[in-house]
Structure 1
Amino acid sequence: MDALLRLRLPPGPAALRLAARLPLPLLRAVGALLGAALFALARRRRAVVRRNLALCFPQASARQRRRWAWQTFRLFGQAFVDRVWLWHAPAHVVAARVRLEGDWQALAAPGPRLLFVPHFVGLDAAWTRLTQAIDRPWAGLYAPQAYPWLDRWVRHGRARFGAPQVISRRDGVRGLVRALRAGAAGYLLPDMDLGPRQSVFVPFFGIPAATVTSLPRLAAAAQAPVVPVIARLDRHGYRVQVLPAWGGYPSGDDVADARRMNAALERWIAEDPGQYHWLHRRFKTRPPGAQRLY
């Protein structure tokens, strides 16, 4: 995968638009092949996935965890290839393949909203479809990519519909706070281990995990309700669930709010563990004196 990303001549827009018209089963087969190659070649990342699953699902059989590990890589590859049609297929194709469920139309109401979007494989599909379907100001943090062509492609793809603000994570969250206070809907993915700074240790599948407190802090700063969004890949495209806004959140207690976030995330992951982004070392930051887990 890394060697592929280093290529200096990525496909041009015309080629991507042409590829986007290929049947979804064919694109998904290409994505599965990419996932299989990553599974075979990315030895260290494969070890991270297996370790995460063993830590979070010790009660599951080894066979079941192996199945989830393979699913993680397969869906990762398929979601990567799906960006071709998400960002280059005709708009009606995106609308047909990415199905919105729940009270998503409530997001059109004026005033700020803070969307809690965990790292399920469909997070790009959810952003693309929501910015297409709902005419309102949007803003989201963006992690710059290591390869210039990939960085340009991802930034342009995420700005396809609705002229959203795509804010670099290097600039911090100030831009997102300003956008929220101006009435935007913000897209936040706060479920990764970003180190000890501005994090608290709360349980995640029973293991103390460094958990950033950006979700309650941003919600409080902008007086924005928190709306969870869960996006899963299926054979038809994606299913995006817009869940009810959390009541009594934030509570004013960052530790309690981080616990609530992780507990909710555990429930959603348990419904289909292979859909989650286990490639990240979720437990790399340990409490003082605790044993390393990787």
Structure 2
Amino acid sequence: MASRFFSRCAVFLLWLIHFLPPAAIAGLGTGIGAVLYRLGRDRRRVTETNLRLCFPEKSEDERRLIGKAHFALLGRAMLDRSLFWWRPPRYLESLITIRGEEKLRELLDQGKPVILFAPHFLGLDAGGVALIMRFDIVSTYSNQKNPIFNELILRGRQRFGNQFLLSRQDGIRATIKAMRAGRPYYYLPDMDFGRRDSVFVPFFNIQTATITGLSRLARAAGATVVPCVTRMHPERPGYQLEIGDPWDDFPTEDIEADTRRMNAFIEDAIATMPEQYYWVHRRFKTRPAGEPRIY
């Protein structure tokens, strides 16, 4: 009972926050991020480890600045969810701009199944909101342990249009069927899901367990892969979703090469905004046989 009460209080606070001016929300989120950086030792250490492994050429001070900026933007992204859940569409359309929308519409008008490959940058939820205000999509949802937040997040993801959410247990057949019916699939394949359906390929020159789903799903559905990256504006409130050019020659006969290509794309995107990738995730948790743990 106590946990449900505190969860409802947290939701009420988020609802109140959405009435604040965007600049005030950004400032408050930045402050929360600074507190998380100072007090959240476990996630700070994960972030520091990831940055040390991925950017060995940078000094410790440079990596520390990236880590602090990451937590500041993470705090902002957390509070911005209140805007996504309760602000009106006209406001959100001004908060989250989109580039390349015509590329996606052209593919869908041609009747092609589409996978929107969306790496885990902090603007991921904002990009999802921009899409569901314009398209009926299919995406995968993991149930949250907290039922109150689970309901809130589900409602937020289905707030606009006619969205189709699948659990990880639904398998790929339902996803393929939805894509072939004209729904682009918002796909997030760049986290450590363990050894199952994964291969070890380089990510910042580190052998990294990476799921092969992008290649396998594109082949099974006959789908075109379109990169989809959302950038937070670091100096002011707002986001920009960029829908890139469809990938040529993908998938190939070599699933491992396809998966290396996916990781290389993410590396290039990170280079343009290193503080915005989801560094608090234990991306290198699963190791090749015989290698010691990293975290």
Match of residue 283 from structure 1: 284
Match of residue 229 from structure 1: 228
The CA deviation at 1:123 is 0.7
Residue-by-residue CA offset, 1:67-110 (whole Å, 9 max, x unaligned): 11111211111111001111210111100010111x22222233
Match of residue 217 from structure 1: 216
The CA deviation at 1:154 is 0.8
- Is 1:164 equivalent to 2:163 in the alignment? yes
The CA deviation at 1:12 is 5.9
1-side partners of 2:71 and 2:157: how far apart? 23
2-side partners of 1:93 and 1:77: how far apart? 21
Structure 2 CA distance for partners of 1:248 and 1:107, relative to 1, 3 Å: same
TM-score between both structures, scaled by the size of structure 1: 0.92
SS of equivalent residue, structure 1 residue 7: helix
Amino acid at match of 1:165: F
Contact 1:144 1:169 in 2 (8 A): no
Amino acid at match of 1:29: G
Match of residue 48 from structure 2: 50
The CA deviation at 1:175 is 2.7
2-side partners of 1:280 and 1:91: how far apart? 31
Structure 2 CA distance for partners of 1:50 and 1:286, relative to 1, 3 Å: same
Residue-by-residue CA offset, 1:128-181 (whole Å, 9 max, x unaligned): 0111124xx310011211211111111111111112111122434343222113
Match of residue 60 from structure 1: 58
The CA deviation at 1:18 is 5.2
Match of residue 195 from structure 2: 196
Q: Which residues of structure 2 form unaligned runs of 5+? A: none
Amino acid at match of 1:237: G
TM-score between both structures, scaled by the size of structure 2: 0.92
Amino acid at match of 1:186: Y
The CA deviation at 1:4 is 9.1
Match of residue 265 from structure 1: 266
Contact 1:6 1:147 in 2 (8 A): no
Residue-by-residue CA offset, 1:41-62 (whole Å, 9 max, x unaligned): 2111110000000000000111
SS of equivalent residue, structure 1 residue 163: coil
Structure 2 CA distance for partners of 1:206 and 1:77, relative to 1, 3 Å: same
2-side partners of 1:25 and 1:41: how far apart? 24
Structure 2 CA distance for partners of 1:17 and 1:163, relative to 1, 3 Å: farther
The CA deviation at 1:188 is 0.5
- Residues 140-179 of structure 1: pairs in structure 2 closer than 5 A: 140-179=139-178
The CA deviation at 1:290 is 1.7
Match of residue 105 from structure 1: 102
1-side partners of 2:3 and 2:269: how far apart? 33
Residue-by-residue CA offset, 1:188-239 (whole Å, 9 max, x unaligned): 0001111011001100000000010111111111111000011011113001
Match of residue 76 from structure 1: 74
Contact 2:33 2:75 in 1 (8 A): yes
The CA RMSD measured in Å over matched residues stands at: 1.9
Amino acid at match of 2:283: R
How many pairs does the alignment contain?
Answer: 288
Amino acid at match of 2:104: L
Structure 2 CA distance for partners of 1:286 and 1:154, relative to 1, 3 Å: same
Q: 2:85 aligns with which of 84, 87, 98?
A: 87
SS of equivalent residue, structure 1 residue 184: coil
Amino acid at match of 2:242: Q
The CA deviation at 1:252 is 2.1
1-side partners of 2:138 and 2:37: how far apart? 33
Contact 2:118 2:229 in 1 (8 A): yes
Match of residue 128 from structure 1: 129
User: Which sits farther off after the overlay, 255-264 or 174-183?
Assistant: 174-183
2-side partners of 1:245 and 1:4: how far apart? 46
1-side partners of 2:202 and 2:183: how far apart? 31
Q: 2:29 aligns with which of 23, 28, 31?
A: 31
Identity of paired residues, percent?
A: 42
Q: Which residues of structure 1 form unaligned runs of 5+? A: none
Contact 1:16 1:88 in 2 (8 A): no
2-side partners of 1:46 and 1:291: how far apart? 21
